[in-house]
Structure 1
Amino acid sequence: CQANGSAINNNYSQKDIVEVPLRNGSNSSSQFVGVELVQSFKPLIIPCYALVVMVGIFGNYLLLYVICRTRKMHNVTNFFIGNLAFSDMLMCATCVPFTLAYAFNPHGWVFGRFMCYLIFLIQPVTVYVSVFTLTAIAVDRYYSTVHPLKKRISVSACAGVLAGIWLLSCALVAPAIAHTYHVEFQEEGFTICEEFWMGQEREHLTYAYSTLIMTYILPLSALSISYLCITVKLRNRVVPGH
């Protein structure tokens, strides 16, 4: 959709709802043709997503319940797993339903300005938390397998690591949230909640590459090295009697 550029630029630094009229004489059918295409997949996608949401919420909640209620499971590894389950459950309970509704609602984003920023914050944060938690689990498994005699991380240190994971994830998302806008197209009765980097293409590219390195390349490298070392250690293990 093409909106009045000056109206957006004048409100570039504001987080208020921006009401932007479409250009005079614009054709709504040509501008929102993508919406009609998405609508055609509604009967197939909604049941699949609903099943994913129900299974994700129930399964992760059950895991969290077992970890919380079973004292014997109160250890570092299970706390990492519990954090992973919580982030996945949060994703299923919030981001998936709202994103699905946004995609299929002909009026676009109908949940207001606050929910626009909140959901667009939670969505990447939960993904990053899952990635960093999986990395922490891999490193923890590495030390317990390759260096079994070294002192393991304490529960209090584990809590600090988890807090750091959530803070780092929020920090990585902050630039994107700062460039997220809730824009209302009055004449069309359509609202968007999207990320815009107007006139900041270089900064956007820098942010994108930095996020790629922090949330994909480095975690993947740590996972690969950790499990490779574990595999080598187990293959070279001397079995008693042989």
Structure 2
Amino acid sequence: MVVAIAGNTIVVYVVKSSPRMRSVTNYFIVNLSVGDTLASLICVPFSFVSTLLLRYWPFGGFLCRLVSFWQAVSVIVSAYTMVAISVDRYIAIMSPLRPRMTKKCAKWIIVFLWLTALLTALPIFIVSGVTSPDWWYEKCGRYVCHEQWPKKEYNFIYSVVLMTLQYAIPFFVLVYTYVRIAIVVWGKKPPGEAENTRDQRLAKGKRKVRMRVCACVCEKHCPHR
């Protein structure tokens, strides 16, 4: 947790302190860092203590709602920020003559992502709460934090919708955009004697593709929720 907070704080500081670093892509990266930092501060400590140390929830009903809610928010924000980065790169490479995304547009996209994530995760805040699952917990005055849906059908429908929004759609968009980018980048064959600068740009582009694909894989296999 400390490493995550420190690393993300450094990213935010570097981009904010250097005007040259304030690009559209870096704005999205800062948004990823902010989301991860908030998740580390809000979700990780309480989940670690309750799940691994105590095996029950000692923090009360409000924190139960807040932590469960923010876990879903952080996953949605992270997933769609990565989608925004991939789409921006895809447009830049596949349609280089089209106007690039402006910084103002990127900021509005980030605001939209947060609003969408907050609204999508709102049902979790509403239905989450503390309860005693059996007689032992009740006798000891201990509780667990989980979602308490009025009907199982509602839980199933919301779970399918959330899984689709959190994982399925972002995953397929990321795979499609980065596969297409990889095909274009690796398939470029400069005619004749290639210039060193052009070769360096291509090599740099390939490294970026590899790094972002690895980041996508890690994000999908290490969800917050």
TM over 0.5: yes
| Paired residue type of 2:145 | C
Partner of 2:145: 193
Give the aligned partner of residue 49 of structure 2.
101
Partner in structure 1 of residue 215 of structure 2: none
Judge which range, 201-210 or 78-87, deviates more.
Answer: 201-210
| In structure 2, C-alpha distance between the alignment counterparts of 1:191 and 1:73, rounded to whole Å | 47
Q: Percent identity?
A: 30
Residue of structure 2 aligned with 1:234, choices 155, 179, 185 = 185
Say yes or no: does 1:221 pair with 2:172: yes
TM-score (norm 2): 0.78
1:225 and 1:107, CA in 2 relative to 1: closer, same or farther beyond 3 A?
A: closer
Mapped to 1, the partners of 2:121 and 2:5 lie a distance apart of 24
Give 1 or 2: higher helix fraction: 2
Which residue type is aligned with residue 97 of structure 2? Answer: L
Amino acid at match of 1:189: G
Amino acid at match of 2:155: H
Q: 1:68 corresponds to which residue?
A: 16
Pair 1:127-2:75 in alignment: yes
Q: Following superposition of structure 1 onto structure 2, how do residues 73-222 of structure 1 map, counting pairs within 5 Å?
A: 73-104=21-52, 106=54, 108-183=56-131, 187-198=139-150, 200-222=151-173
Give the CA deviation at 1:62.
0.8
The answer (yes or no) to whether the contact 2:57–2:143 under 8 Å persists in 1 is yes
Deviation readout 1:105-129 (Å, 9 max, x if unpaired):
5482222322222212111111111
Q: What is the aligned residue count?
A: 189
- One-letter amino acid of the structure 1 residue matched with residue 25 of structure 2: T
- Preserved CA contact (<8 Å) 1:197 1:204: yes
* 8 Å contact from structure 1 (residues 94, 119) kept in 2: yes
State the superposition RMSD in angstroms: 1.8
Secondary structure of the 1:181 match is strand
Residues in 1 aligned to 2:112 and 2:95: alpha-carbon distance in whole angstroms: 24
* CA deviations over 1:135-173 (Å, ceiling 9, x no partner): 111111101111111111111111111111111111221
**Deviation of residue 104 (structure 1)?**
4.1
Once the two structures are superposed, what CA deviation does each residue of 1:166-204 show, in whole Å capped at 9, x if it has no partner? 111112211222211133666322022211224x11121
1 CA distance for matches of 2:31 and 2:60? Answer: 29
- Structure 1: state its 5+ residue gaps: 1-52
SS at match of 1:164: helix
Instruction: Supply the distance in 2 between the matched residues of 1:121 and 1:173 (Cα, whole angstroms).
Output: 6
**Secondary structure at 2:140 match in 1:** coil
Larger radius of gyration: 1
Quote the offset at 1:238 in angstroms: 4.2
Amino acid at match of 1:231: A
